Amino acid sequence: MGKIAELAADRFKWLKRGESPDSISSDLIARFKKLSDLSSTVSDVLDGMGIAGTVPASDLKPTLLNKQVVGTAVTVRNAALPGAPLANAQKQEWHMAEVLAIAAASPGDVLLIEGVRHVSNMGGLMATIADHQQLAGAVVDGAVRDVEHSRTLGFPVWSTDISPITGKWRIITRELNGPVNIAGVSVSPGDLVIADETGVCFVPRAVVEQVLQKCEEIALLEDRVVNDLKNGSTVEDFIEGVYGREAL
């Protein structure tokens, strides 16, 4: 048993833990990163495959603009801690355990937290540890805090809420690396996370290569349209090519 597993078994006895997922191939991730309009393109492909996997940036808001993250999901499922928060504080009832998921993750992975609204599921210290462990970023269905701290690190976070209220006495981590629900989307550990300033997409692991291939086909088509326009093609040519001549 590794040190992290020993610590979890001793200190976090209530916690359900799954195995940390193997990271998705770095070659596949690099190919996704080459695509322009990344979340929009992936969202279109997921629609065409009948997969509901996209959350707009108006719901999961980025703390940093002009940041793009593509990586393997490691997951945390939080819930409200029973009892009065101030009483829990007096008893030092602290049951958050996202640090274990961060410690067991691989460089380039993305931390996903199914969290509690309006209180912090992740703050500056956890952002520092995640950055130190070389995670690519974090996506939180719930609140985060210390956003100036994470911005200073250059560590990107997407969240539904921002709040200074600590989760220490209000949140209990129930499970690591199990299925989570992020803003209405079911995500499993090991799925692919794609996030930019337009939105967040979750790609089931089993179809990552298929989605990538379709995205690259779209990119080639769009590049051809742009080149055609630069070389004298007209908008009428574009409409005819996409919609058919009867559209004119």
Q: Alpha helix locations (H) across the chain?
A: 3-11, 26-33, 38-48, 85-90, 98-104, 124-132, 147-153, 208-230, 235-243
> One-letter amino acid identity for 84?
A
pLDDT in tens, 99-128: 999 999 999 999 999 999 999 999 999 999
With CA atoms as reference, report the closest residue to 191 among 199, 182, 160, 183.
Answer: 182
Instruction: Give pLDDT, residue 76.
Output: 98
Instruction: Give pLDDT, residue 94.
Output: 84
CATH number of the structural domain 3-204: 3.50.30.40
Report the distance separating Cα 185 and Cα 53, nearest Å: 6
Which residues belong to CATH 3.50.30.40 in the chain?
Answer: 3-204
pLDDT in tens, 137-160: 999 999 999 999 999 999 999 999
Question: Which residues contact residue 160 at a Cβ distance below 8 angstroms, ignoring those fewer than 6 apart?
Answer: 59, 60, 61, 117, 140, 141, 142, 143, 183
pLDDT in tens, 173-226: 999 999 999 999 999 999 999 999 999 999 999 999 999 999 999 999 876 666
User: What tokens does 134 get?
Assistant: 């070389």
Report the distance separating Cα 201 and Cα 38, nearest Å: 9
Look at the block and give the residue holding tokens 């030092």: 92
Mean pLDDT, the chain, rounded, equals 91
pLDDT higher than threshold 80 for residue 246: no
Q: Which residue has the higher pLDDT, 11 or 248?
A: 11
pLDDT higher than threshold 50 for residue 247: no
Instruction: Give pLDDT, residue 6.
Output: 67
pLDDT in tens, 57-102: 999 999 999 999 999 999 999 999 999 999 988 988 889 999 999 9
**% of the chain with per-residue pLDDT over 70:** 86
Instruction: Give pLDDT, residue 10.
Output: 73
pTM for the model: 0.90
Report the distance separating Cα 167 and Cα 123, nearest Å: 9
CB atoms under 10 Å from CB of 214, counted, come to 18
Instruction: Give pLDDT, residue 248.
Output: 42
Backbone dihedral region for residue 42 (phi beyond 0: left; psi -120 to 50: alpha; all else: beta): alpha
Average pLDDT for 25-42: 97
Q: Which residue has the higher pLDDT, 3 or 144?
A: 144
219, 51 in Cβ contact below 8 A? no
112, 76 in Cβ contact below 8 A? yes
With CA atoms as reference, report the closest residue to 137 among 52, 78, 64, 36.
Answer: 64
Question: Which residues contact residue 134 at a Cβ distance below 8 angstroms, ignoring those fewer than 6 apart?
Answer: 107, 108
